[in-house]
Structure 1
Amino acid sequence: MRILVTGGAGFIGSHLTDAFLSRGDEVAVLDDLSTGRPGRLDPRVAVHQVSVTDAAALAAVVDAVRPELICHLAAQIDVRASVEDPAADARTNVIGTINVLEAARAGGARVLFASTGGALYGMDAAIPSAEDQFPEPEAPYGTAKYCAEQYIGLANRLHGTAHSVLRLGNVYGPRQDPAGEAGVVAIFCGKVSRGEQPVIYGDGGQTRDYVHVGDVADAFLAAADAPRPGVWNIGTGAETSILTLADVIGQVSGRPVEPGFGPARPGELRRSALDVTRAAGELGWKAATSLEEGVASVYAWVLAGEPDR
């Protein structure tokens, strides 16, 4: 298959690009490089430095690459940034997705969209949350992702396309920036490796569904080969509190973690875990990496100097 990965020089996108290459697919990347790094990518991959908010430039890349599949991962991913500037979040996450859909329609490509499970279902959702749970996001980021999903569903109804949505849990793994604003596993591993105190915002009882990036890449491959459109949660189905995560990092690192505490941040959920029954049944996919194994991979990567590859 010929595949274009938007946001392909990012943390998840670069792993996905590697996964497609490893099975013999032809892959190109579109990334504005605002946070992505070309060094994460295999040298065989062509990188087009273009933003999904630039409809004309995006369409030109799709016309040149002629992908059969577009994996759309380019996004504004910071929940706090979306609260501070919801219009900017919507420009990337809503308008950018519409631009991808229009370029895909012109080029006859199918789209796999990386949505969010963790920020979508809302404060009162059943745990674990299934795909038929009505979304009530608590921040502009989740709202924008849900809006983008609606445009994907509309495209399927209006144009007879077979685009699909993968609602991701809290993805972690090597190549996630330990100095960034998102990605608590990488941030905590980075601080612990340097002998610094990680900070928990809130009381530490808040839970997330942590899914390893390698498992997420496998889910995209399974969805790429699926014969029909769908909406699938991609997680582990398990809740893990921040305090438990800190304990696991302490066990892996051999350095007991005694975090500091700060005020809870607006727009962030108390509990989150995803029901992954549908993905197992329809895609034959299930997360295979335990939290201990996954955290160990991140800590080893940090100790190795956080290489791009």
Structure 2
Amino acid sequence: MKVLITGGAGFIGSHLVRLLQKKGEGVAVVDNFSTGLRENLPDGTAIYECDVTSPELANVFETVRPDAVVHLAGQTTVHVSMADPELDAMQNVIGSVRVLEQARQCGVKRVIFASTAASYGDVAEDHLPIDEFEPLAPLSFYGLSKVTVEHYLDLYHKAYGLDYVVLRFANVYGERQGDGGEGGVISIFTKRVAKDEPITIYGDGKQTRDFVYAGDIARGIEAALRSPHANRAYNLSTQTETSLKELVAVLANVSGKNIVPRYEDARTGDIYKSLLANGRARRSLGWTPQTSLEEGLRRTYEYFCK
């Protein structure tokens, strides 16, 4: 299988590239390197520097002629989407439609789309953990852009027969992560702790997230590439709720340091509690998360210490 990964030089992409290469698949990466880094990728990886909104994307598809596309590229930060909705829409909606259009024209068999827990919005506690039947009610333009692309995927399938799998990621973290994105709090915290710098929690610290390790996400994407159960959405999560205060406590244990966070007001668009059910992915993709938060944090912390 020949797989084109948009945003493949980002931290999730870098985990996926290594996994697919290990399994003997042909892999090509397209990235504009606004946040991704060439050094994130193994030597010898086919890399095309291009923004997904650029007309040059057509040349990349024509050159690679992929069997499948994993679409990871995009604007990934809630507060950026609230400050600049136009930027968010251009990167996440227009960019995604251009990827879909090139996939259709090049005869791609399947598109895997990186969606988000933010698609669900702030769900009542008695609805946790959130399953895929929960109505989509995003609180941020970032979440709205992801929901919009999910609708495009469904219509592309109905109109053109292009298969897809939507993967709604929980809060992803791991080595090579930047400071943006929904799991970026771990990246920010671990980098600052490694440098003996203070950390800040926005809100009361009781807000919760479902933190899932990037290596487990890569395995979920690989399973979605092969699964016969396409044209639907799956949550990829640990189905474990962790508060930011608990996260700090685990990080303190991993680092062996006493961490006393500062607190500031919560930010607009941030969800208070997030916990995703993963039963559908377990049943239909044969996927389970394998990396504990403590082990994942240890790997991430050791990476940033280097």
Q: Distance in 2 between matches of 1:212 and 1:131?
A: 20
Report the 3-state secondary structure (helix = DSSP H, G, I; strand = E; otherwise coil) of the residue aligned with 2:115. strand
**Counterpart AA for 1:175:** R
Alignment match, 1:163: 164
Question: Which 4+ stretches in 1 moved above 4 angstroms?
Answer: 179-182
Between 1:267-276 and 1:185-194, the stretch displaced more is: 185-194
Matched residue, 1:8: 8
Q: Deviation string for 1:140-171 (max 9, x for gaps)?
A: 00000000000001111111221111000000
User: How far apart, CA to CA, are the structure 2 residues paired with 1:260 and 1:248?
Assistant: 17
SS for the counterpart of 2:263 is strand
Q: Is 1:72–1:113's contact at 8 Å kept on the other side of the alignment?
A: yes
Identify the residue that residue 64 of structure 1 maps to in structure 2: 63
Q: Deviations over 1:236-280 (max 9, x none)?
A: 111100000000000001102110001100000000011100000
Question: Is 2:123–2:273's contact at 8 Å kept on the other side of the alignment?
Answer: no
Q: Which residues of 2 match residues 121-160 of structure 1 at below 5 A?
A: 121-125=120-124, 126-160=127-161
- Partner amino acid, structure 2, of 1:8: G
State the AA in 1 paired with 2:284.
E
Give the aligned CA root-mean-square deviation in angstroms. 1.1
The range that moved more, 190-199 or 98-107, is 190-199
Note closer, same or farther for the CA distance 1:287–1:108 as it changes in structure 2 (3 Å cut).
Answer: same
Distance apart, 1:116 and its partner CA: 0.5
Mapped partners of 2:83, 2:53: distance in 1: 19
Contact 2:77/2:180, CA 8 A, preserved across alignment: no
Name the residue aligned to 1:273.
275
1:244 equivalenced with 2:243 (yes/no) = no
Matches within 5 A, 1:220-259: 220-229=221-230, 230-259=232-261
**Residue 293, structure 1, aligned to residue 292, structure 2:** no
Question: Does structure 1 retain, via aligned residues, the 8 Å contact 2:93–2:146?
Answer: yes
TM-score normalised to structure 2 length: 0.96
Gaps (5+ residues) in structure 2? none
Question: What is residue 26 of structure 2 aligned with on the other side?
Answer: 26
Partner of 1:99: 98
In structure 1, what is the Cα distance between the partners aligned to 2:10 and 2:265? 29
* Inter-partner Cα distance in structure 2 for 1:267 and 1:141: 9
Q: CA deviation at 1:124?
A: 2.8
TM-score w.r.t. the length of structure 1 is: 0.95
Deviation at 1:228, TM superposition (A): 3.4
Give, in whole Å, the separation in 2 of the partners of 1:70 and 1:144: 19
Q: Distance in 2 between matches of 1:124 and 1:166?
A: 19
- 1:112: which partner in 2? 112
Paired with 1:46 and 1:161, the residues of 2 have a C-alpha distance of 25
Contact between 1:5 and 1:71, CA under 8 Å: does it hold in 2?
A: yes
Q: Deviations over 1:206-237 (max 9, x none)?
A: 00000000000000010011123121000111
Q: Which residue is 2:209 aligned to?
A: 208
In structure 2, the partner of 1:307 is none
Instruction: Please give the alpha-carbon distance, in whole angstroms, between the structure 2 residues aligned to 1:124 and 1:4.
Output: 34
Partner of 2:305: 303
Secondary structure of 1:163's match?
strand
Q: For the structure 1 residues 245 and 194, does the alpha-carbon distance in structure 2 shift closer, same or farther, using more than 3 Å as the test? A: same
Q: Which amino acid aligns with 2:194?
A: S
Q: CA deviation at 1:195?
A: 1.4
Identity value in percent: 44
| Structure 2 residue matching 1:30: 3-state secondary structure | strand
Deviations 1:59-87 (A, max 9, x none): 11111100001000001001111001101
Structure 1 SS opposite 2:196: coil
Q: Separation in 2 of the partners of 1:32 and 1:140?
A: 22
Tell me how far apart the structure 2 counterparts of residues 244 and 203 of structure 1 sit (CA, whole Å): 12
Contact 1:162 1:228 (8 Å CA) reproduced: no
Question: How many residues align structurally?
Answer: 301
Q: Distance in 1 between matches of 2:86 and 2:172?
A: 25
More displaced, 181-190 or 219-228? Answer: 181-190
Q: How far apart are the structure 1 equivalents of 2:102 and 2:14?
A: 22
Q: 1:181, CA displacement in angstroms?
A: 7.1
Partners of 1:189 and 1:34 in 2: how far apart? 22
For structure 1, the 5+ residue unaligned runs are: 305-309
Distance 2:35 2:121 in 1: 27
Q: Which amino acid aligns with 2:8?
A: G
User: 1:30-41 maps to which residues of 2 (within 5 A)?
Assistant: 30-41=30-41
155-164 or 257-266: bigger deviation: 155-164
Counterpart of 1:270 in structure 2: which amino acid? Y
